[in-house]
Amino acid sequence: MLCTVLKAKLHHLRVTQADRDYEGSLTIDEDLMDAVGIVNYEKILVADLENGNRLETYAIRGPRGSGVACLNGAAAFMGNLGDRLIIMAWCQKDESEIPFHHPKIVRLDEKNRIVASAV
């Protein structure tokens, strides 16, 4: 049997931009995506710590080192600039793999810089 488990988490990603006219998604600094193994166009769950909103969308690469976190399309209505987000990605593992699985988790500061990580 396969179980869906946490693969990656960006904790306290701050919203830096919103673009309601874009087709959709969340643009994330590619360095941050790489830090936890989120790939371009991967499905993500976004939780906004300021208002409790949760949404499913997909991640797209933003410029490396920019610290960008841009809510695009309908997602732009779900939060505000400066909101702290938790970004989660999932994977499926066989039950036998679960005891050895460890998600990649990164905690960010107010400028979207990595301050702690767990792998």
**What are the residue numbers of the active site?**
25, 58
DSSP string for residues in the chain: -EEEEEEEEEEEEEP-EEETTS-SEEEEEHHHHHHHTPPTT-EEEEEETTT--EEEEEEEEE-TTS--EEEEGGGGGS--TT-EEEEEEEEEEEGGGGGG---EEEEE-TTS-EEEEE-
